[in-house]
Amino acid sequence: MRQTAGFPKSQIFGLFLSLVLTFGAGFIALKTSLSFGMIMAIIGTLALIQAGLQLFMFMHVSEGEDGKTNIINMLYSLFCAIVIVFGTIWVMTLGTHTH
């Protein structure tokens, strides 16, 4: 494991950016007069950005010998989860129309 001395600039930047995204989502939810669907879409987008930010800044997903392998595995897991969720919704909603 690599140890470095000094000020953790990237972690401080990641923390600051996470706080900005969190407070931005709170501001959008509480202080705007957008429609409910638009607010949820914006908050969901900010949440995905923050999740990706935290994976790369704090969990160091792309570092190490198998950094690319970690990213590929996470993308494949995300693909499987999306297929399972949307496939289940598709079967449950359209399954009653065939009878």
Residue type, 68: K
Judge whether 57 and 14 are in contact, CB under 8 Å. Answer: yes
Residue type, 8: P
Predicted pLDDT at 63 = 73
* Per-residue pLDDT tens digits for 43-87: 999 999 999 888 888 877 777 677 688 888 888 999 999 999 999
Q: How far apart are CA 68 and CA 57, in angstroms?
A: 15
* Per-residue pLDDT tens digits for 13-40: 889 999 999 999 999 999 999 999 999 9
Predicted pLDDT at 30 = 93
Mean pLDDT (the chain) is 86
